[in-house]
Chain A
């Protein structure tokens, strides 16, 4: 019998930082990490002394493959002056840094450490696209990769199964894309901080300037239906259904609850953490949900005593548009088969009752895979502290937010719930 999970002692977040995400020619992952670290330090209201940091946990998927350099725990530790403090790298594909966060929480909850830096970093854009895709495909099951499945391909297959079971179509996926872009437009750290409408206008302006035929899209969906503007990647996943290739870093300072007020009067508390593992496509009993997310959610909800309806807003792992819809269901926000309708009705918009991916999500904020988990929690931090600027969730008394991170094709999933008291 599995008992309810609990921490040995409380853990609080007292600082957070992230680099702007993007494709950088003139910066590498070390530069981006320093950017995130510096912002984290300056975000600690009463200040933090880096010498007090007991340990570093670093999420990173595959520097080994993309940067041809492995063993980055001590590299990053040295970079920000933490040597000889211990550094541990966590690998959970695209959920690598959610695992780093979780290990940091355990390290403090056990009583072993008091102050821990949890972080993630990934550099992808300096490789040719095929090599990036090949690296990502290393996180699918070997059976899938062997018969040609790519990352977008796995989610494309999931989409066809979902469409068949629930009657959704490509048009419903477009609602997710349009919403994500609208949010990202308000996020200065997003890789694509512009709406689909902005994109259309700039393409029209460029065509006019060059004297080329001017596109005549009537609305965003017509743009997204245009195979020239939005080519297929892995049917039914098109370019605008897929997250981009990104570089970036994010970090957070975790401390024991009893010393949190030494750092800030407004800490956030870790009230629920759950993690689950999932099967390969062929072994799942149904390809329209992720078993690992459901398990992670159950653990996090039970631990926190919260229900899905108590989560006021969430960042979910929208590596592909279909994924966002499925997570809405797996996390219990909407019933199975109802997620796409909720998005269509605008329930997940920034001004809706359940804002989802206020940052713009992976689709627009970017997805430097190993940095994504902590960067999602960075968004929860900003929102719960009322520091999200133009994209601030307009719900009064915002107290509880969550981040859902998914690794690979659902092999590793986590849900982390933070609370402002």
Chain B
């Protein structure tokens, strides 16, 4: 039994461990990703952890040429855009993520509906490690 609290902090810890974890309401079955500690459908407070299979499809995306400072530091710029998007998982729930394995210099070739599989991008080390959710086409 997974005992961690249903929080953004736990969610981030799981990403570090390469697990995509949501919460499910034991009363009405509603699924939340990132996890919620109370059910906003029925207001039940009895939740359980659910691991996502990590498979889905692309439902919206953008290829960003002018990124925030932390993406510029990763080497992205006008000549090297990166893709961020919305993935709809097989579990029927959506999540925002970095999208890899697409040609960001030819965004017109990227198709909505493209099958995706989860990836974990680790940045930094040890206690400072931070993991960004990604999906690969």
Q: Are A160 and B60 in contact (CB under 8 A)?
A: yes
Mark the stretch among A150-158, A303-311, A379-387 that contacts chain B: A150-158
Q: Are the C-beta atoms of B61 and A160 separated by less than 8 Å?
A: yes
The A-contacting residues of B in range 95-137, CB under 8 angstroms, are 95-98, 107, 112, 132-134
| Known pairs A130-B69, A148-B82, A236-B107; A283 contacts B94 (CB<8 A) | yes
Q: Which of B8, B33, B112, B132 contacts A160 (CB 8 A)?
A: B112
CB-CB < 8 A to B133: which residues of A?
147
Q: Which among A104-112, A137-145, A389-397 touches the partner chain?
A: A137-145
Complex Cα distance, B105 from A232, in Å, reads 10
Within 8 A of B (CB), among A214-266: 231-237
Q: Tell me, yes or no, whether A282 is within 8 Å of chain B by CB.
A: yes
Mark interface residues in B39-71 (1 if CB within 8 Å of A CB, else 0).
Answer: 000000000000000000001111111111101
Given A130-B69, A137-B68, A287-B86, is A158 in contact with B60 using a C-beta cutoff of 8 Å?
A: yes
* Cβ-defined contact, A150 with B66, below 8 A: yes
| Bound-complex Cα distance A134 to B34 (A) | 23
A157 B82 Cβ-Cβ under 8 A: no
What residue of chain B has the Cβ atom nearest to residue A134's Cβ?
A: B68
Chain B residues with CB below 8 A from A161, complex form: 59-60, 86, 112
CB of A172 to closest CB in B, whole Å = 15
Check if B112 sits within 8 Å of A156, measured CB to CB: no
For B61, list chain A residues within 8 Å (CB).
156-157, 160
Is A334 located at the chain interface by the 8 A CB criterion?
A: no
A148 to B64, CA, bound (A): 8
Whether a CB of chain A sits under 8 angstroms from the CB of B81 is yes
In the bound complex, do residue A148 and residue B112 qualify as a contact, i.e. CB atoms below 8 Å apart?
no
**For B66, what are the chain A residues with a Cβ–Cβ distance below 8 Å?**
129, 133, 150, 152, 233-234
A152 to B82, CA, bound (A): 13
Question: By the criterion CB–CB under 8 Å, are A156 and B62 in contact?
Answer: yes
* Docked-complex contact B62 and A153, CB < 8 angstroms: yes
A282 to B94 alpha-carbon distance, docked (Å): 5
> Are A145 and B65 in contact, CB atoms less than 8 angstroms apart?
no
B96 contacts A160, CB within 8 Å?
Answer: no
**Contacting residue for B84 out of A157, A159, A232, A233, CB 8 A:** A157
User: Which residues of the other chain, B, contact A145 by a CB distance below 8 angstroms?
Assistant: 68
Contact-size category for B: 20 to 34
Known: A153-B84, A287-B60. A148 touches B94 (CB 8 A): no
Q: For the complex formed, measure the closest distance between the CB of A345 and the CB atoms of chain B, giving whole angstroms.
A: 26
Q: Are A281 and B64 in contact (CB under 8 A)?
A: no
**In the complex, what residues of A have CB within 8 A of residue B84's CB?**
144, 147-149, 153, 157
- Decide: B63 and A235 in contact? CB cutoff 8 A: yes
Q: Which residue of B lies closest to A170 (CB)?
A: B108
List residues of chain A with CB within 8 A of the CB of B96. 143-144, 147, 149, 280-282
Cα A134 to Cα B132 in complex, Å, equals 18
| B60 / chain A contacts, CB cutoff of 8 Å | 157-158, 160-161, 281, 287
- Roughly how many angstroms separate A129 CA and B68 CA in the complex, as a whole number? 10
Measured between alpha carbons, how far is A161 from B60 in the docked complex, in Å? 5
- Chain B CB within 10 Å — which of A134, A152, A160, A280 has the most? A160
Contacts of A281 in B (CB 8 A): 60, 86, 94, 96
Chain A CB count within 10 A is highest, among B60, B65, B95, B97, for B60
Residue A78 is within 8 A (CB to CB) of chain B in the complex:
no
| A159 closest partner in B (C-beta) | B62
B86 with A237: CB separation less than 8 A: no
B residues in contact with A235, CB < 8 Å: 62-65, 81, 107
Q: Which residues of A contact B67 (CB under 8 A)?
A: 148, 150
Q: What's the minimum C-beta distance from B12 to chain A, rounded to whole angstroms?
A: 9
Alpha-carbon distance A130/B71, docked complex (angstroms):
11
Q: How far is the CA of A353 from the CA of B68 in the complex (A)?
A: 41
**Which residues in A have their C-beta under 8 angstroms from that of B30?**
none
Residue of A nearest to B8 (CB): A142
Q: Are the C-beta atoms of A149 and B112 separated by less than 8 Å?
A: no
Q: Is B78 an interface residue (CB 8 A)?
A: yes
Separation of A149 and B85 alpha carbons in the complex (Å): 8
Does B28 make an interface contact (CB < 8 A)? no
User: Any chain B CB within 8 A of the CB of A198?
Assistant: no
Contact residues in B for A236 (Cβ distance below 8 Å): 62, 107
Residues of A within 8 Å of B85, CB to CB, are: 157
Instruction: Assess whether A208 is interfacial by the CB under 8 Å rule.
Output: no
Q: Among the listed A134, A157, A233, which residue makes an inter-chain contact with B86, where contact means beta carbons less than 8 Å apart?
A: A157
CA distance A159 to B61 in the complex (A): 9
A-B contact pairs, 21 of them (CB 8 A): A133-B66, A142-B8, A147-B98, A149-B62, A150-B67, A150-B68, A152-B64, A156-B64, A157-B60, A157-B61, A161-B59, A161-B112, A232-B81, A234-B65, A235-B65, A235-B81, A235-B107, A236-B62, A280-B96, A282-B86, A283-B94
Interface pairs A-B: 5 shortest CB-CB:
A156-B62, A235-B107, A235-B63, A161-B60, A157-B60
Q: A153-B84, A161-B86 are in contact. List 17 more A-B contacts (CB 8 A).
A: A133-B66, A137-B68, A142-B8, A145-B68, A147-B96, A147-B97, A147-B133, A148-B67, A148-B82, A150-B64, A152-B62, A153-B62, A154-B62, A232-B107, A233-B65, A235-B63, A282-B86
